[in-house]
Amino acid sequence: MRVFHIQPGAVAEMAQLPEGLPAKGFLWIACGRREFELEQSHVQGALHQWAGVMLVDLHISDLLNNQLPSHFDYTSQYDVLVFRRLAAGHSETDLSHPGQLLSRPSGRGGPPVLRRIDTSPVGFAVFDRVLLTVHPAGCTVLDHYAQRLLSSATAASRAAGVQQPISPADLMLRIVNQMVDGYLDLRRELTRQLDHWQSELLSPRARFSNWSALMDARTTLHQLDEICEDQRSAIQDWIEALAGWEVVEGQPDHFGGHRGLELLKVRSRDVLEHIERVVHHVRRLEQNAETAVQMHFSAQSNRTNDIMRTLTALTAIFLPLNLIAGIFGMNFEFIPLLHEKAGFWWAMGSMTLIAGVLTGLFWRKRYLARTGGR
């Protein structure tokens, strides 16, 4: 469990939960799912002491559920957002080792990019001055953002214009936006992989054999589409709830005033736009994969048609020659040119002439022409 005190111009990490809320700023409590399961009574007591409210039992179950899709819920005193982020193929820890990561081999086949598409939910409980995050063990997104948050409090970062979160809701949206950026990075790798498969599918000299990996990719893209749809619905519900927020009197303008509320709405719409971009790209990848498969079979069909057309034209060329050879092979005593000295050459000349005329005719009609690029 990690506890951060965030205030304008300063970020400090605490060793344990404080007795009371600080006079300025807000608290961020980040703990693993199994840690929260073990320490929920302690965390609940701290929340009750700070905000006068505890998490509802159903929301605790949601935060502890490792299979829950992205969704949003709210009460009159706090909001709960569950957002699925990209995992790295790790399992949850057991109760005897809270916070320690237990790795497991990924059961997904295909190229490495497909094995990366494994998701796990991260829960956010947003209070007025407290943000509680419940994440799986080894959540690199939260670790990276915590490191960036600590570095943003330095004088160099402030001079560079790095802004700190102004409220628990703002911090939640920043973390969610970083999770969505992971999906944006993944789509580039998926695009490169599918482009490679498309070039193999459409290459006339290559024999494509990665059908199982391609089917896994299509299934994974469907799964990713469903995940992003749940994420979009959750953020849309959050934006609708945000529209009903009222300006808190007595709060600084950057924290709970008009400007702070407008910044939350702008950041929420930005997160939603990023998710919609991922959804649009995933659906385009699905269409590209389907189109590549159809074009592959269409090209194979055209190639087969070209081969059959060529064989048919060659058969038509040699059919008159076989007819002439069959006539002169009959067992009749009197056949014209049979006993002539030049009969053989007359027969060969006529056969060559017929073959040449038919070849020229079929070539002119493109019966023997090869398809471009093949």
6, 79, 126, 256, 261 from 234: Cα distances, Å: 26, 12, 14, 23, 19
Average pLDDT of the chain is 79
Which residue ranges form the domains of the chain, and what is each CATH number?
2-298 (3.30.460.20), 304-364 (1.20.58.340)
Label the pairing between strands 90-91 and 130-135.
unpaired
pLDDT (tens digit per residue) in 28-72: 999 888 889 888 899 999 999 888 889 999 999 999 988 889 999
User: In Å, how far from its chain's centre is CA 86?
Assistant: 9
Rounded Cα distance, 242 and 76, in Å: 12
Residue 91 has pLDDT above 70, yes or no: no
pLDDT (tens digit per residue) in 310-353: 888 888 888 888 888 888 788 777 778 777 778 888 888 888 89
Within 10 A of 185 (CB to CB), how many other CB atoms are there? 10
Residue 161, by phi and psi: left (phi above 0), alpha (psi -120 to 50) or beta? Answer: left
Residue 188 has pLDDT above 50, yes or no: yes
Residue 155 has pLDDT above 80, yes or no: no
- The reported pLDDT for the residue numbered 115 is 58
Q: Is the full-model pTM beyond 0.75?
A: no
Q: What is the mean pLDDT of residues 199-227?
A: 75
- The reported pLDDT for the residue numbered 114 is 59
Q: 98 falls in which pLDDT band (50, 70, 90)?
A: very low
Which among 141, 150, 148, 142 is positioned nearest to 30, based on CA atoms? Answer: 142
CB 128 within 8 A of CB 172: no
Residue 362 has pLDDT above 50, yes or no: yes
What contacts 173, CB < 8 A, 6 or more positions away? Answer: 264, 267, 268, 271
Residue 293 has pLDDT above 60, yes or no: yes
Say which DSSP state 95 is in: T
- The reported pLDDT for the residue numbered 162 is 57
- The reported pLDDT for the residue numbered 134 is 92
Of the two residues 310 and 172, the one the predictor is more confident about is 172
- The reported pLDDT for the residue numbered 90 is 42
Lowest-pLDDT choice from 134-143, 175-184, 206-215, 341-350? 206-215
Residue 111 has pLDDT above 70, yes or no: no
70, 331, 340, 350 from 321: Cα distances, Å: 75, 18, 20, 9
Residue 99 has pLDDT above 50, yes or no: no
pLDDT (tens digit per residue) in 123-149: 999 998 899 999 887 777 777 888 888
Residue 94 has pLDDT above 70, yes or no: no
